[in-house]
Amino acid sequence: MGGDENVSTTAGIWGFIILFALALACWLLFRSMNNRLRKVRYSAADEARDREAVQLSEETGESERQAAIELDEERLEEKGEEEQK
């Protein structure tokens, strides 16, 4: 049907450069997204701990800081017991 079938067509150096740039941009975006998601997860855990500390401080009449310290100590003890099992 006409034409030379022995000629190969490739993307060449410009195709490689564009593909490499896109891959690099995706890698940077994914890395940034992971960092942001980690911060959200940690801040949500901190907020939950703060709410528990406020609730405990209202129940016991202690300061919020002291209640947070006691909660952390309890969690460390529970974690140590779980690891021993």
Q: Categorize the per-residue pLDDT at 2 as very low, low, confident or very high, splitting at 50, 70 and 90.
A: low
Mean pLDDT of the chain: 83
Banded model confidence at residue 41, pLDDT cuts 50, 70, 90: confident
Query: Does 1 have pLDDT greater than 70?
Result: no
pLDDT value of position 74: 81
Cα separations in angstroms, 63 against 19, 21, 39, 58, 77: 58, 54, 27, 8, 21
Q: Where do the domains of the chain lie?
A: 12-84
Both tokens of residue 72?
């952390």
